[in-house]
Structures are given as structure tokens and as C-alpha cells.
Amino acid sequence: MAVFQHVLWGYELTYPDDWIHRTTGGDSKHGEVEAFAMIPEALTADYQGPRSGQILLRAEFNSAGQPIEPIWNRHIAMIASWLGAKQVGSAPWKMAGASGIEAEIVLPKKDERRLWTGILQRNLTVLNFLVLHLKEEYLLFQPLATQIIASLRFPQEVAGVLTSKDGFPLPPDYVSIPPQDILQDIRDPANWRAYDGQHSIDSLQAFYLREAPNFGWSILEFIPLSNQTDLGFARLKLKKGDRAITLGIMPYQEETSPVARPARLVIKTELVK
């Protein structure tokens, strides 16, 4: 069996060695999608032949701390606009310490596929699942899909987390840049650092809420990126021993970015008593 861990969102799935996993890029509204299928063709556009079943998983950050019901309603509306689907009965769903809602979805009569969907929330991370396959391949695909989804875990540690010289966690593929490249009015540049990369601001918020405590940093304040504030970025204030850090997760515009709302990191360090 193969194991997929998402270093930013902090979840893990196990799937058969002969299955295919692929990450597809997000757009300006929706984040990246993790796709799993039995054959590569199933993950290509418009393929509806044999073994075309897919498991799709997309994570999002619930910055406003909303209850699960409005998130579910948006999820169902998105599926309806995509596939012309209508919801059947939904039911509560719990797994791996997360809770949410699941439902079998009715597709138009001419559609020969079966659709199941569900969402799970753990802390401020929401996972959106979608399983789509041919009705005639139910016995071939559904037991394996159920097994894969049931393997969901949120491990205490995930592979790929980097650290700075002072033990501050950093996401993979972020490189150091002059902080003046992001902020123009820095008066004491020796106390500032900045990192450039192309992970989404939603995934970076989830990453730091989880990994900062794992590396011994206490979170004193967290202000998420939200329409409810005028801050324009996410901010965390953290402390470890005699060192305090203010972390700004700064979104930026990048037309060629493979993710929705990429963000850079700006860090100010201070010594405290």
C-alpha cells in the first residue's frame, strides 16, 4: 500500500500500490485537488470509459469558524452546478477525530455514474470528498474507495517540514528573500526575515496552527485572513523561551501560480524577558 501525506493540511491517506495519485491545480476560488484512480485515463478530462472511477479530495480553511451546515450547503451547490446533481438524504459522518456530513447524490437519469460526497471538519480544516464511478462498476470500485477514505488519519508528525536556524517550522519549497522585497518600510531589517513560495494562504494557516506548537512555539494570537477584518493578511504571534515571533502570511497576485491565493511569509523576531 502507498501512503500520501499532505504536509500543509496535515492529513494522510493509504491507497493501493497500483492506483494513481495526482495533484491538480486550483483556481482563484478553489484550492488544489488530490485525485485518486485505478488508471491514469480516469484522471483525464472527459474520460468516462471502463475504470473511470475517481476519488477527489479538496481541503479548505474555515477561517470564520463557521458551523458545518453552511459549508455543506456551499459544497452541495458547487456539485449541483457542476453535474446537475440533486441531493438525496444526508447523514452525520465521523472519522479520524473529524466530524461532518455525507450523502448519496442523485445524478440526471441519462448519467450512468454514481456519486457520493462528504465533508469532514477537524479544528479549522475542512476536507471535501467526492467519489464518482460507473454504476456497473460498483463492486469493482466502491469497496476500494471506501477502504481508502476509511484510512484517513491526522498524524502528529508529517514528513517534509523544514526548520529555520532558530527552530521555527517552514513549509517545503520556500526560499529566503530580502524582507524589503515584501515590506518597504522596515526600520530594523536585522530582525526581519522573509520567505517566498507558492503554497496557498489557506494551507499555510492550517500548517502553522498545527506545526508551531509541534516545534515548541506557543500561539499567543492568531488573526486569520478574513473578510471580517481589514488586515489583508493572516497574522500569528508566537513565543518560545526568550524569543517572540510575529508571522505575517501575505497573499499576493500571481497569474501563473498553480494554487489559489499563494502567499509569502514575513517574520519579525524579538527577544523578550
What pLDDT, on a 0 to 100 scale, did the predictor assign at position 30? 55
Q: Are strands 218-223 and 192-196 parallel, antiparallel or unpaired?
A: unpaired
What pLDDT, on a 0 to 100 scale, did the predictor assign at position 92? 95
What pLDDT, on a 0 to 100 scale, did the predictor assign at position 28? 47
Same CATH topology for 2-150 and 162-271: the answer is: no
Q: How far apart are CA 59 and CA 75, in angstroms?
A: 12
Q: Considering the entire predicted model, what is its pTM?
A: 0.91
Which grid cell is 39? Answer: 488508471
Q: Is-contact 256 194, C-beta < 8 A? A: no
Choosing among 1.10.8, 3.30.70, 1.10.3910, 3.30.310, the CATH entry for 162-271 is: 3.30.310
Segment 4-24, tens digit of pLDDT? 999 999 999 999 999 999 998
Superfamily of chain region 2-150: Mog1/PsbP, alpha/beta/alpha sandwich (3.40.1000.10)
What pLDDT, on a 0 to 100 scale, did the predictor assign at position 256? 62
Helices (H), the chain: 68-83, 138-150, 201-214
Segment 184-201, tens digit of pLDDT? 888 888 899 999 999 999
What pLDDT, on a 0 to 100 scale, did the predictor assign at position 82? 74
Q: Which residues of the chain have pLDDT under 50?
A: 28
What pLDDT, on a 0 to 100 scale, did the predictor assign at position 202? 95
> How do the domains of the chain map onto residue ranges?
2-150, 162-271
What pLDDT, on a 0 to 100 scale, did the predictor assign at position 259? 75
